[in-house]
Amino acid sequence: MHFKTYRIFFLLVYLISFNLSFMIAQHQPVKIEDIRDEKEFIAYLTQKGLYREALLAYDQLPLNFKNNDIQDSLSYFAGWSHYNLKNLLKSAHYLDKVNKSSVFFPKAHFYSSYNYAFMGKYDIAKNKFKANTWDNELHEELKYFELSGIALLEGDFQSYQKHSENFTYKHYSLKNEEVLFDSVYQNMINFKPKSMVLAGVMSSLLPGSGKVYAGKLGEGVTAFLVTSILGAITAENYFKAGPTNYKTIIFGSLFTIFYIGNIYGSVFSIKLYREEFRMTHEHKILFNLHIPLRQVFY
């Protein structure tokens, strides 16, 4: 063969081998060892508190691998990262993927259920808690503690009494919160919602008294002073200048507006009073549902 032919031949060999190695590299099957290493790296990131980076690493993972242990761990890390970034729905979605056989299952299960409770999805949270029975005494009591908290959130006092029968008050990570829930329960059943009609009638007779009845002393005094002053000014102008004088009309109109506003405001204050009571206790319950989880699954 001519030397020229040899050169062409060797160049062709070079080009083909280059392309082949490139194509092979692209279509290598995913190695489990690589995924395991990646899992360790994601664990490191979550331990360091680098949750966004952990989720970014998770998103880079290939989808075509089958290993339940690694899948469970990765789902847990993704769920835990979303939880710390306050993405509760996504957190619950990933934590729900953790299987019962995984070492992360108890923590994933409880936090996922807590996420649903926090988002107001009480039925889902309750069903998840009720779906499992734990051999571990502490976990079993924690389950009833969480269910009792959800019952308080729903205002279902009968269910609270039933679940709280499982309180032992002996586990360090639970006893303070159990005592607190009992106290919250007492507050809630003894709560007197106060009457909107009574507040309105009181304010119509004595401006501001309805707001004082609703527990708003400062607002009640202000309403009384403003309405009384405008009433006094209107009366002064009425008696000195007559009913058709512009000042009587202006101040009379202002007095009417403030007087009616004071009555409406008093009625609305009762609604606010009830709402504030509910919100305060809801925050307290949700916060104290969370503390034992941190203590049990540190």
Partner 1 sequence: MNIKFYLIFIFLCARFSIDGQEQVFSKADSLYNTGEFQLAALEYERAIYLANNNRIINAARFKKSNCYKQLGDHGKALDELGQISLFTIKDSARFKVFKEQAIVGYLGGEFSLSYSKIRQIENLKAGNDYIQNLWPFKILVLNEMHEWDKSRETLKGHAPEIMDNENFQLLLEMYENPPGLKNPSTAKWLSYVPGLGHLYAGYPLEGMASFTINLAFLSFGAYQIYLGYYLTGYFIGAGGLSEFFFGSRARAGYLVEKKNHQRVREYNNRIKEILLGNIKMDL
Binding site for partner 1 (CB under 8 A): 3, 7, 10, 14, 17, 21, 41, 44-45, 50, 53, 56-57, 60, 229, 232-233, 236-237, 240-241, 247, 251
> Contact, 258 vs 216, CB < 8 A?
no
- Whichever of 231 and 292 has its CB closer to partner 1, that residue is 231
Radius of gyration of the chain (CA): 34
Residue 41 CB, shortest distance to partner 1, in Å, is: 6
Q: With the C-alpha atoms ordered 234, 237, 240, 245, is the resulting torsion angle positive or negative? A: negative
- Whichever of 51 and 144 has its CB closer to partner 1, that residue is 51
- Whichever of 7 and 294 has its CB closer to partner 1, that residue is 7
Instruction: Read off φ and ψ for residue 24, nearest 5 degrees.
Output: -65, -45
How many Cβ atoms sit within 10 Å of the Cβ of residue 265?
A: 23
- Whichever of 198 and 233 has its CB closer to partner 1, that residue is 233
> Contact, 61 vs 35, CB < 8 A?
yes
Residue 198 CB, shortest distance to partner 1, in Å, is: 31
Give the amino acid at 16. I
Residue 204 CB, shortest distance to partner 1, in Å, is: 23
Angle at 117 between CA 111 and CA 119, to 5 degrees: 105
Which value, to the nearest 10 degrees, does the dihedral of the CA atoms of residues 21, 26, 28, 33 take?
110
- Whichever of 12 and 179 has its CB closer to partner 1, that residue is 12
Residue 230 CB, shortest distance to partner 1, in Å, is: 8
Residue 55 CB, shortest distance to partner 1, in Å, is: 10
Round to whole Å and give the CA distance between 185 and 177: 12
